[in-house]
Amino acid sequence: MNRSKKLVIWVVVLVLLCGSLFAVTYYNDNKKEEEIPVKEEAIMISEIAKEDITKIALKNNNGEFDFVKVDENEWSITGYEDYEMKTYLVSNFESMFTSLRADRLIEEIGDETDLSKYGLADPFATIKATLVDGTAKTLSIGNKTPEGYAYYAMMEEDPTVYTVSNNYGRFASYDISDLRDDKVVNVDPTALAYLYIDLKDHDTIEITLEDNPDTYSTHKMIQPYNEPKSVDSYGFEEVVIPNFPTVSIDMYVDDNPTDLGKYGLDDPNLTFKAESLPDQQGNVLRMDYQFGDTYKEEDVEFIYFKPSDKNVIYGMRYNELLEKVVFDPFDLTDSLIYIVNILEVDQIIVSGMSEEYVLEMEREYNTVKKDDGKEEEEVTETFYLAGNVIEDEAFRDIYQLVIGLTADFDVREELDLSDSEKVTLQYNLADGTQKFVEYYTYPEDNNFYVTKMEEGLYYAVSADEVEFMFEMLNAVAEGEWPIEE
């Protein structure tokens, strides 16, 4: 093939390619033009001044609700005046009359019009607005359109079927539970001033702030014990905080119930109260709820509950609530038997197991002048065990063993300890008072000693811990300190 012939072929191919490209481009451009939908101009159906609307009546499958304007931006619902309402949702009903626009005009109603095909012969919702002049306008909402993007609607005073936004169908479907704004209060357990847990068939637990400035604990337990007990912060953080309930309204069950028994709230399974510490503005949050029986909805377990001061029943997801608040009071209290600052003690006498040890603290107070010229009181301490001076560190180790005896569990009954062996710790305090702590071998288990904390309450301490204390006292008294445990 000669060069001229080849050139002609290439020109023909190029022309064909350009033509194909032009044809495809032209086709696509025209196709795009055809696919772009032409949006019809919105049609104004109702345009009433907001201030002219005084009442709104909603009727749908959930019931009939009458809204009455209280002031410019506040509405109440007849029969629910004592409940908080989501006023901003009522504005959605107002918008159906102040600025209602239709997406499309479907049909002007005539004698032959079949409204049932639009769901407007028996509309699922009607919204009626009463105006200041006594007149009224009523909007009916029918079926969804086949495309599902709008609802058929018509104004009673306008014989025309329109389509309106899906939002209006959603507004018209509101139930009282959508409109009410009942609030629950939850307290942060890390900022707790008060806690009350009355769980059926368990000890009532009541915790409040500690008002004794001489104790290191921030809270005290006043129930179930007869005498207040310091709350152990570690136990509280480990046991209570992870299981502290959060209350929420998952469903409205019954307003003004006449029979609390049907919900298990005539004798609640749980009464739970909590109060927060004041915030920076001095505000305090308070929880006070009663919980009754559990029930199921679509295989989800709920529990009935009510505020203690209101006669209304709610439901919330159960989430093992009653199991989570089963707290052993002992786990929340300080398990140290008796703790006292070494500066407040002059002498401790430890007796038992046919032995007796006397620990003494001698203090000399002197006023010294510092480098800056200021005077300061200094304390010089001398420590004795069995009449002999012992090293400061050895004495403090022994002191920690004595005051550090820790309970493993509590016994809540009166015990006959007449046949038990006894160990006594006698504290002679710097203010001239005395404190006696007596330990007895536990009749039910000789691996423990018990000490009486109050009437009907004993704390049990490991016998190994008591015996080790005597071993250490003997070792230090014999000059064998430090010793290996």
pLDDT in tens, 117-138: 999 999 999 999 999 999 999 9
pLDDT band (50, 70, 90) for residue 365: confident
Q: At what angle do helices 392-403 and 463-477 cross, to 10 degrees?
A: 160
pLDDT at 112 over 70: yes
pLDDT at 385 over 50: yes
AA identity, residue 377: E
| Coil, strand or helix at 288 | strand
Q: Which residues contact residue 275 at a Cβ distance below 8 angstroms, ignoring those fewer than 6 apart? A: 187, 192, 193, 194, 195, 284, 285, 286, 287
DSSP secondary structure, 166-233, as one string: HHHHHHHT--HHHHB--------GGGEEEEEEEETTS--EEEEE---TTSS-SEEEEESSSS-EEBPH
pLDDT in tens, 157-192: 888 999 999 999 999 998 887 888 788 899 999 999
pLDDT in tens, 225-284: 999 999 998 888 888 999 999 999 998 898 889 999 999 999 999 999 999 999 999 999
pLDDT in tens, 308-318: 998 899 999 99
pLDDT at 70 over 70: yes
% pLDDT > 90, the chain: 57
% pLDDT > 70, the chain: 90
Domains of the chain: 43-179 (2.60.40), 189-332 (no CATH), 342-477 (no CATH)
**The predicted structure's pLDDT at residue 69:** 86
Report residue 387 as tokens.
């009449």
pLDDT in tens, 40-51: 566 898 889 989
pLDDT in tens, 399-435: 999 999 999 999 999 999 999 999 999 999 999 999 9
pLDDT in tens, 321-330: 999 999 999 9
| Coil, strand or helix at 94 | helix
Average of per-residue pLDDT across 138-146:
94
Q: Identify the burial level of 184 via C-beta atoms within 10 angstroms of its C-beta, where 0-12 means exposed, 13-18 middle and 19 or more buried.
A: middle
pLDDT at 10 over 60: no
- Owner of token pair 């939002």: 167
pTM above 0.85?
A: no
Average of per-residue pLDDT across 194-222:
90
pLDDT at 465 over 90: yes
